Structure 1
Amino acid sequence: MNETDITIAVEDAKQADVAALMAEADAYLRTLYPAQGSFPVDVTALSAPGVVFLAGRRDGSLLGSVALRPIAAAHAEVKRLFVHEAARGCGLGRRLLGTLESEARARGVDRISLEVGIRQPQAIQLYRSVGYRDCGPFGTYRLDPLSLFMTKRFTP
């Protein structure tokens, strides 16, 4: 799959194909973590005021998505970065994250944080490769042996 064929745009998360992609993400996470270690986020939360939802599409088909949720002044959280299995390996996750960071900067965000499960080495590698560093829990999160917390600050 050629990554230049994929467009990324801000969209409304309340779409049937978004719900289907989130169900796919949840099913994948259930293969990695016990029920008490999984914290799914539904399309309603991804459509809340202030949340920016990005969709990656090829010929109208949803291949991946990510959301940015504000958590404090100038601080936001990456939520639900997920790429459909058939679209992995073409750089879509990296492109979604880069576009999300551009959207964050345009909205005055100077710090982005995220929580990722420790059993997702590809995701952790992606985040580290673009400058995210380990940190402690933020917002309402608490320490969890299955979670890794990461953050990235933007310099002016």
Structure 2
Amino acid sequence: MSDLTLIRTSSDNADFRKLVSLLDRDLAVRDGDEHAFYAQFNKVDAIKEVIVAYQNNNPVGCGAIKPFSTSQAEVKRMFVHPDSRKQGIAASVLNELETWATEIGFSACVLETGKKQPEAIALYQKAGYQIISNYGQYIGVDNSVCMLKQLNTPTILDTRHLIPNK
């Protein structure tokens, strides 16, 4: 990976919006008739935690998290430009999203992807995500694959039992 830079931003970022537009076009082809169903759950307005990956100052990938519950963040809008795939960019974006989720107090990440995105499923499984029952709006949707990963939350050392030095 030459000169990969990850920036933390929000859904207002113009490069993020351009990448999401490419993602939506890709998903429209993959999902066909089901695309309209999924599109309603993929609005990017007011997402506060967005990562944009730049390679040689060009935006090449993105991802976002948003609160799903008090303890879980949902991974959304993961995408790497086709010309930049197979370089570990998606894994880097995902790792940074998980780090950020931990920093803001989440102990797990959930996500939904589709059976027509085998490379995404492989990425998430390699990163430690496990397939779970479909949640929320994806219950009963045959094409949906929902996944969960417990995050390594920082351990807070309990020092109450330690004897202070004299």
The worse-fitting range, judged by mean Cα deviation, of 57-66 and 117-126 is: 57-66
Contact 1:22 1:42 in 2 (8 A): no
Question: How high is the sequence identity, in percent, across the aligned residues?
Answer: 28
SS in structure 2 at match of 1:23: helix
The residue that corresponds to 1:32 in the other structure is 30
* Alignment of 1:52 onto 2:49: yes
Of 55, 65, 69 in structure 1, the residue corresponding to residue 66 of structure 2 is: 69
Contact 2:138 2:144 in 1 (8 A): no
Gaps of 5+ in 1: none
1:138 is displaced (CA, Å) by 2.7
SS in structure 1 at match of 2:68: strand
SS in structure 1 at match of 2:106: coil
SS in structure 2 at match of 1:72: coil
SS in structure 1 at match of 2:121: helix
Contact 1:71 1:139 in 2 (8 A): no
Gaps of 5+ in 2: 154-166
SS in structure 2 at match of 1:99: helix
Report the structure number with the largest CA radius of gyration. 2
Q: Number of residue pairs matched?
A: 150
1:72 is displaced (CA, Å) by 0.8
Q: Distance in 2 between matches of 1:52 and 1:13?
A: 8
Give the CA RMSD over aligned residues: 1.7
Q: Distance in 2 between matches of 1:149 and 1:34?
A: 20
Query: What TM-score, normalized to structure 2?
Result: 0.83
SS in structure 2 at match of 1:18: helix
Q: Distance in 2 between matches of 1:71 and 1:26?
A: 22
Q: Distance in 1 between matches of 2:77 and 2:53?
A: 13
1:23 is displaced (CA, Å) by 1.4
1:31 is displaced (CA, Å) by 1.3
Contact 1:37 1:146 in 2 (8 A): no
* Alignment of 1:43 onto 2:44: yes
Spell out the pairing of 1:1-156 with structure 2 (5 A cutoff).
Answer: 3-38=1-36, 39-40=38-39, 41-44=42-45, 47-48=46-47, 51-156=48-153
Contact 1:19 1:42 in 2 (8 A): no
Query: In the alignment, residue 59 of structure 2 is paired with which amino acid?
Result: L
1:68 is displaced (CA, Å) by 0.5
Query: In the alignment, residue 82 of structure 1 is paired with which amino acid?
Result: F
Q: Distance in 2 between matches of 1:67 and 1:54?
A: 6
